[in-house]
């Protein structure tokens, strides 16, 4: 899965963090890598832990909590 978190307000406005990794919805908790970002987060590194709180397998709807740790210059 490739995912970008974009910031729209505050000190990080117009910056983003990019996450890449396997995101198996069948696993309750999974870990992915922060592989970079834009503006403030150029050359960012870190990890994201995704935890599914609710999943409807019939519709594909889900509530997922992402905890992202980022190191940037």
Sign of CA dihedral 10, 32, 73, 37: negative
**Interstrand relation of 29-38 and 16-20 (parallel, antiparallel or unpaired):** antiparallel
SS3 57: coil
Among 41, 35, 34, 42, which residue's Cα sits nearest to residue 69? 34
Q: What is the mean pLDDT of the chain?
A: 93
Tens-place pLDDT, residues 32-61? 999 999 999 999 999 999 999 998 989 989
Going by pLDDT thresholds of 50, 70 and 90, the confidence category of residue 23 is: confident
Residue 14 has pLDDT above 90, yes or no: yes
Residue 25 has pLDDT above 90, yes or no: no
Going by pLDDT thresholds of 50, 70 and 90, the confidence category of residue 27 is: confident
**CA pair distance 2, 18, nearest whole angstrom:** 7
């Amino acid at each position: 899965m490739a995912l970008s978190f974009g910031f729209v307000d505050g000190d990080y406005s117009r910056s983003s963090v990019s996450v890449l990794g396997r995101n198996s919805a069948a696993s309750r908790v999974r870990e992915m890598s922060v592989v970079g970002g834009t503006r403030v987060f150029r050359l960012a590194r870190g990890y994201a832990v995704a935890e599914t709180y609710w999943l409807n397998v019939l519709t594909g709807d889900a509530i997922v909590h992402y905890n992202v740790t980022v190191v940037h210059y």
